[in-house]
């Protein structure tokens, strides 16, 4: 994959994602009766780096960019989290994403803490040369806190394997030798892993099957709407289609389409590759981008940005089951409304954990210079996702709470245990 995977751009989030992330944590901390000192530690980020750097543009002018790298917690191991390029990136957004990564890694049983990074930029307005120079300069600026033993970035919104290769090469040039394990999500030619590109979408598919089994939903008699037809959304669509789900509606940054009889996903992927958008797909009806969340369906997969389901539209959601392929697409207030309506939500920290799981596999392979084939990768991923879903489901049932709260209770317990066992330095 050489093209940048874009995500849909909807209206700017009205809520602060960091406040939402802390609110979700506080709710679970209350239920778990977490020690006040531990609670104070875990509800804040460990480290936040803001970098401002110049880049020479193609026309000879100089443009200054702002970027971030945030590490939330490293009690369980090196920090792990993606880098996104988006004009709406804020420090608070990156802090929230870093916290969610901590819980996600703990739920998946990975020896990582949470981190995230980003640059305030619309990459579609940059040439490839400008994009590379910006990426390499950003990598140099954050090189003081990243590395295989410290913090391992990965692709996120609007970043790609090629961008990860540029970061890896930049760090390697500074070190004087190749450092493939400094990032994951790289091309296979420079230490990437089989199965990594499809990992997030494949994880969503595994979780969808797990949830349907427990809720008594027949995949072959179920319709699905997917908001966001970038990497995660399109791959989830293709793999869920192969399992018998009917993909009835999808959207991207240009618009949305719907077909009650189901969309031909392979043809739709080819159409988007050729035209740059899902709009205009033969045999489908055009609908408003926001309507993809509200169409009649059995499963809804938000795979775009945060704060897409809010208290304003939660009452109009018609799905029975929601799988958060994106990070933070449902606000806390919307969560309450959806739960009251009996709609099951599989939270982001579980539903989209496939990406970081295979990133972990890639990191392990890079460190030992020994690589696995794709069948082995996919089998290991399915095992991790099955175990994680079962543990979250059991946690929720044991405490009589939602899947999100069950996931948070499980994650907080694991991170708190590691923090307590390590002690407070010095």
Tens digits of residue pLDDT in 107-121 = 999 999 999 999 999
User: Which of 46, 80, 104, 116 does the annotation list as catalytic?
Assistant: 116
- What confidence tier does 343 reach under pLDDT thresholds 50, 70, 90? very high
Would the pLDDT of 6 be above 80? Answer: no
Residues 6+ apart with CB under 8 A from 48: 68, 69, 70, 71, 91, 94, 95
* CA dihedral sign, ordered 360, 195, 350, 13: positive
Predicted local confidence at residue 4, as pLDDT: 38
Would the pLDDT of 342 be above 90? Answer: yes
Closest CA to 68 of 49, 54, 43: 49
Tens digits of residue pLDDT in 59-105 = 999 999 999 999 999 999 999 999 999 999 999 999 999 999 999 99
Predicted local confidence at residue 305, as pLDDT: 85
Predicted local confidence at residue 97, as pLDDT: 96
- Catalytic-residue membership of 272: no
- Using alpha carbons only, give the angle 256, 259, 262 rounded to the nearest 5 degrees: 115
Question: Is 28 within 8 Å of 412 (Cβ atoms)?
Answer: yes
- What confidence tier does 14 reach under pLDDT thresholds 50, 70, 90? low
Q: What does DSSP say about strands 321-323 and 151-155: parallel, antiparallel, or unpaired?
A: unpaired
Predicted local confidence at residue 306, as pLDDT: 86
Closest CA to 221 of 318, 299, 293: 299
Please name each of the domains of the chain with its CATH number: 17-182 (3.40.50.10860), 199-346 (3.40.50.720)
Predicted local confidence at residue 86, as pLDDT: 96
372 burial type by CB count under 10 A (0-12 exposed, 13-18 middle, 19+ buried): middle
Predicted local confidence at residue 253, as pLDDT: 86
Question: What count of Cα atoms within 13 Å lies in the side-chain half-sphere of residue 257?
Answer: 22
Predicted local confidence at residue 178, as pLDDT: 97
**The two structure tokens encoding residue 116:** 């995230």
Tens digits of residue pLDDT in 292-321 = 999 999 999 999 988 999 999 999 999 999
Tens digits of residue pLDDT in 202-243 = 999 999 999 999 999 999 999 999 999 998 999 999 999 999
Tens digits of residue pLDDT in 156-198 = 989 999 999 999 999 999 999 999 999 999 999 999 999 999 9
Average pLDDT across the chain, whole number: 94
């Amino acid at each position: 994959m050489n093209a940048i995977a874009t995500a849909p751009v909807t209206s700017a989030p009205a809520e602060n994602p960091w406040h939402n992330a802390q609110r979700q944590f506080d709710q679970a901390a209350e239920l778990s009766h977490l020690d006040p000192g531990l609670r104070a530690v875990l509800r804040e980020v460990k480290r936040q780096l803001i970098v401002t750097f110049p880049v020479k543009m193609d026309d000879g002018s100089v443009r200054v960019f702002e970027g971030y790298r945030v590490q939330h917690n490293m009690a369980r191991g090196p920090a792990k989290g993606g880098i996104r390029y988006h004009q709406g990136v804020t420090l608070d957004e990156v802090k929230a994403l870093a916290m969610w990564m901590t819980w996600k890694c703990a739920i998946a049983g990975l020896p990582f803490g949470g981190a995230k990074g980003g640059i305030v930029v619309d990459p579609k307005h940059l040439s490839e040369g400008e994009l590379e120079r910006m990426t390499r300069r950003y990598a140099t600026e954050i090189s003081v806190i990243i590395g295989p033993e410290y913090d391992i970035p990965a692709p996120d919104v609007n970043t790609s394997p090629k961008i990860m290769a540029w970061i890896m090469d930049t760090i390697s040039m500074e070190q004087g030798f190749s450092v493939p394990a400094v990032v994951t999500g790289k091309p296979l030619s420079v230490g990437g892993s089989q199965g990594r590109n499809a990992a997030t979408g494949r994880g969503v598919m595994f979780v969808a099957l797990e949830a349907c089994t427990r809720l008594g939903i027949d995949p072959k008699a179920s319709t699905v709407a997917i908001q966001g037809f970038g990497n995660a959304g399109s791959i989830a669509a293709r793999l869920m289609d192969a399992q018998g789900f009917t993909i009835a509606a999808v959207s991207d940054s240009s618009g949305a389409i719907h077909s009650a009889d189901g969309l031909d996903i392979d043809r739709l992927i080819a159409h988007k590759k050729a035209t740059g958008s899902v709009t205009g797909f033969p045999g489908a009806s055009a609908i408003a981008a926001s309507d993809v969340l509200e169409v009649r369906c059995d499963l809804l997969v938000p795979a775009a940005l945060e704060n897409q389901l809010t208290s304003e539209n939660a009452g109009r959601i018609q799905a029975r089951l929601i799988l958060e392929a994106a990070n933070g697409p449902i606000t806390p207030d919307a969560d309450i409304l959806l739960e009251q309506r009996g709609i099951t939500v599989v939270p982001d920290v579980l539903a989209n954990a496939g990406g970081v799981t295979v990133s972990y596999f890639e990191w392990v392979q890079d460190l030992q210079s020994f690589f696995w084939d794709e069948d082995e990768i996919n089998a290991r991923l399915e095992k991790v996702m099955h175990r994680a879903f079962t543990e979250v489901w059991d946690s929720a049932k044991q405490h009589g709470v939602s899947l999100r709260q069950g996931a948070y209770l499980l994650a907080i317990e694991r991170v708190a245990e590691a923090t307590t066992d390590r002690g407070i330095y010095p």
